Structure 1
Amino acid sequence: MEVDEFKLQEQEMEICRRRGIGEGSKREGTKRGRKPGRKAKSDMKAKLERSRQSARECRARKKLRYQYLEELVSNREKAVLALHRELDMYRQWAKEFDEGKVSEGLMKLIEDEKVKKGESE
């Protein structure tokens, strides 16, 4: 009788091997879905706390990203304003030059360009 039981066990193991079901196989426990009573409430509390912590960290990263972008925009706006001032200065010099006047700023710019040319040669 023991021999028959042993043969039956061997046959069942062979069938399981053919189907890919066995020790360490992923197919153990084929029922799907949530199993009642599997997770304790403490696990859920820990999961909720991790979720809250993750949300706090996400908000902090978002805040830093927006601060960085606002700083970038501010710096670019300052650069644009400086360029507008420079452009207005050049327009004023051109207007004065057309009227036959040469301003001190234009003379200084011309002298600086001469110095640069002399150094490069």
Structure 2
Amino acid sequence: MMEFQEMAVIEEQPSTEGPIRKESGKRGRKPGRKAADKVDMRAKLERSRQSARECRARKKLRYQYLEELVADREKAVFELRKEFERYISWAKDIDEGRMPEGIQELLEQFGALKQEQ
């Protein structure tokens, strides 16, 4: 025959582990810190303003640098275009059987360079 044992019901007690919630109905700042909070907030705002000023100054310098770089490149392009147009003019003069102005100095410079090498 089988014997039966009575089952005992064990009640669990709430554990005290984990975060304990306070049952206060208020949220937000705690009283008594207003003066310190205002000073901290003012300091934080001032740091933020200073950071924004520095950021704007860096941005201004970066744009100035880029504008100077673009101006230098545009100047170089203009000079190269001018030189290119001069060579085109010389080529036309040579095709027509004329000796272009300035070509003699250029040939002498290249001659001097070849002699040095």
Out of 68, 92, 95, which is 1:95 matched to? 92
Greater CA deviation, 41-50 or 98-107? 98-107
Aligned to 2:42: 45
Aligned to 1:119: 116
Out of 77, 101, 104, which is 1:107 matched to? 104
Aligned-pair identity in percent equals 58
Q: How many residues are matched? A: 91
- TM-score of the superposition, structure 1-length normalised? 0.68
The whole-number CA distance in structure 2 between the counterparts of 1:30 and 1:65 is 53
Greater RCO (Cα-Cα under 8 Å, separation 6 or more): 2
Deviation for aligned residue 1:100: 0.3
Greater CA deviation, 110-119 or 86-95? 110-119
Deviation for aligned residue 1:104: 3.1
Q: Which runs of 4+ in 1 moved over 6 A?
A: none
- For residues 89 and 35 of structure 1, do their structure 2 counterparts lie closer, same or farther at Cα, with a shift above 3 Å needed? same
Out of 3, 20, 29, which is 1:36 matched to? 29
- For residues 36 and 103 of structure 1, do their structure 2 counterparts lie closer, same or farther at Cα, with a shift above 3 Å needed? same
Give 1 or 2 for the bigger CA radius of gyration.
2
Deviation for aligned residue 1:30: 8.6
Aligned to 2:56: 59
Out of 71, 74, 82, which is 1:74 matched to? 71
Deviation for aligned residue 1:57: 0.5
* Bigger share in helix: 1
What is the DSSP-based 3-state SS (H/G/I as helix, E as strand, rest coil) of the residue aligned with 1:104?
coil
Q: Structure 2: which amino acid aligns with 1:77?
A: E
Q: Structure 2: which amino acid aligns with 1:36?
A: R
Gaps of 5+ in 2: 1-16, 22-26
What is the DSSP-based 3-state SS (H/G/I as helix, E as strand, rest coil) of the residue aligned with 1:89?
helix
